[in-house]
Amino acid sequence: MVEKSRAANFMEKPLPNQPLITSGRGYPMQHLLFKISGLTDENSVRTLANAIQDLPSIGQVEISLEKGEASIDHGRFVSPDDILQAIVDAGFEAECRY
């Protein structure tokens, strides 16, 4: 029981300057904001969402067609550069705004 208590206490501490977001496995997640060029309709939004969600360790993905932005929560098994590359490979231009 002591081990579980320590793990629970660890997860209650947010990262500096970021709220604590966890994946289903309890790993801390980071939040990124990308400015996306090339979103034209709901099909392009779906294409982009599928490309991002195919990556490992992706949490919540919100894409705004109106703003041309993608808000992404990701875990430690994928880097911002990996996400950017997936966006570019899907046919869009992007800039990470963190």
The answer to whether the CB of 38 falls within 8 A of the CB of 68 is no
Any idea what the Cα angle at residue 43 is, between residues 98 and 97, rounded to 5°? Answer: 10
Measured CA to CA, the distance from residue 10 to residue 7 in angstroms comes to 5
Summary mean pLDDT of the chain: 82
pLDDT, tens digit, 9 for 90 and up, residues 38-71: 999 999 999 999 999 999 999 999 999 999 999 9
CATH placement of domain 2-96:
3.30.70.100
**Within 10 Å of residue 70's Cβ, how many Cβ atoms?**
25
| 86-97 average pLDDT score | 97
Single out the residue of 46, 32, 57 nearest to residue 91, CA to CA. Answer: 46
Q: Give the domain ranges of the chain.
A: 2-96
Helix/strand/coil for 32: strand
Of residues 56 and 19, more confidence is placed in 56
pLDDT value of position 63: 98
pLDDT value of position 16: 45
